[in-house]
Amino acid sequence: MSETMGKVCVSCGRLSSEYVSFKCPGCLKETIIRDRSCREKHTRYVCPNCHTEGP
């Protein structure tokens, strides 16, 4: 896999290679992707599956 691979942050929609992923606490099915800047700023996210919001 190349280093250009990344994931789209659910908060800002930007493609990022520095991200964290975790299961949605609401539905435990959707994987939430957040880039580093959104994580540090605690930007709000919304699960695309169950619409749970989180900090």
Q: Is the dihedral of CA 13, 15, 20, 22 positive or negative?
A: positive
Instruction: Assess 6 for contact with Zn ion (CB under 5 A).
Output: no
> Binding residues for Zn ion, how many (CB under 5 A)?
13
Instruction: Assess 46 for contact with Zn ion (CB under 5 A).
Output: no
Cβ distance 18 to 1 under 8 Å? no
Instruction: Assess 12 for contact with Zn ion (CB under 5 A).
Output: yes
As given in the structure block, the two tokens for residue 8 are: 């789209």
Q: Which residues bind Zn ion (CB under 5 A)?
A: 9, 11-12, 24, 26-27, 30, 35, 38, 47, 49-50, 52
